[in-house]
Amino acid sequence: MSRVECVEVDCKSALNRVQGMPFKWSVNPYSGCSHSCHYCYARAYYARAEHGNADRDFETRIYVKRNMPRLLAAELARPAWRGESVALGTATDCYQPIEGRYRLTRALLEVLLAYRNAASLVTKAPLVLRDLDLWAALARAAKVRIYFTITTLDPVVWREIEPGTPNPRRRLEAVRRLNAAGVPTGVLLAPILPGITDSEASLEAVVAGAAEHGAAYLGAAPLRLAPGVREHYLRFVGAARPALLPRYERAYSGTYAPPDYAARLTERVDRLRARYGFGVDAMRERSTRPAPAPAAPPRARRASPQLALPLG
């Protein structure tokens, strides 16, 4: 991996008001991410903030908001604050490797625990287990949800699409350990990449792994390509999967996957949710009934093809 430059900065506020999402407030102690996921929507935020370009700068120049824990404590202490849930890691991964050095996420957790404030986290990093003591304590005091994003369990595809991330099987083990400690943790099968990770065999491997490791819930979503992200991702496809590039260019004229493709993908995922005991709704918790055992291990099942993107 390329050498990462850390740029320490002071920010003006910790809490960021969010619109159009299931949560109203987010906190992101870093900007940029060395996980280097080619599909990452946060590349667009990075460029919009004029930190650098959405390509190499995003993954090699990380901005460290060193005063954020102090600011968060001041903002949660305000009389007007109503204790709404705070989402961590919505525009960066709070547990990317530099967290081991700066420990800002742990400091933020200490603040949230002091105020017994609800929180959620999206991450790809088992480093979250370093802070298991704080997450478990916060889960006893307030509503907590952790989501591990897992796009594939195929080792070759994993390294191709998200080269700086921890092994997805280590993420599944972290899911098991967090739930065992009383911290509700699930899996986000997202984004699902057309022609790369959308076959039933690929999807089922992740859903089966989530069920086997006791995931509390399972979410899924197709790839979206906002301006800035689209250009980077299509360059990646052109280099790694050139046969797919013309289909992507036709299908993704805008940000979102074509509606007919998204509908067929939802049907495929919902069948797998039902098979492994998850609710049909994206974030519904697992059924209390044991999931029916599949007729054969996922790799032994007759594989369904990748879902075809429209050609026109």
For residue 253, what is the DSSP state? S
CATH of the domain at 264: 3.80.30.30
312, amino acid identity: G
- Look at residue 187 and tell me if it is in a domain: yes
Give the CA distances from residue 4 to residues 8, 27, 63, 155, in Å, rounded to whole numbers and listed in that order.
13, 22, 10, 24
In the prediction, which pLDDT does 71 show?
98
Whether residue 249 is contained in a domain is answered as: yes
Structure confidence by residue, pLDDT tens digits, 30-60? 999 999 999 999 898 877 777 877 788 999 9
220 inside domain? yes
Which pLDDT does position 54 carry in this prediction?
A: 75
What residues make up the domain containing 285? 80-300
Using DSSP's 3-state secondary structure scheme, residue 123 falls into: strand
Q: Which two tokens stand for residue 5?
A: 């430059």
| Residue 59 maps to a domain | no
Residue 23: inside a domain: no
Q: Does a structural domain hold residue 49?
A: no
pLDDT at res. 95: 98
pLDDT at 56: 85
Q: How many domains does the chain have?
A: 1
User: Is position 34 within any domain?
Assistant: no
Give every residue of the chain whose pLDDT is below 70, as ranges: 1, 280-312
Which position has the token pair 């919505």?
A: 90
Distance of CA 218 to CAs 19, 40, 108, 162, 207, Å? 23, 20, 26, 20, 8
Q: What is the pLDDT of residue 296?
A: 40
Determine the Cα–Cα distance for residues 292 and 278; give it in Å rounded to an integer. Answer: 11
Would you tell me how many other CB atoms lie within 10 Å of the CB of residue 281?
Answer: 11
In a domain, 259, yes or no: yes
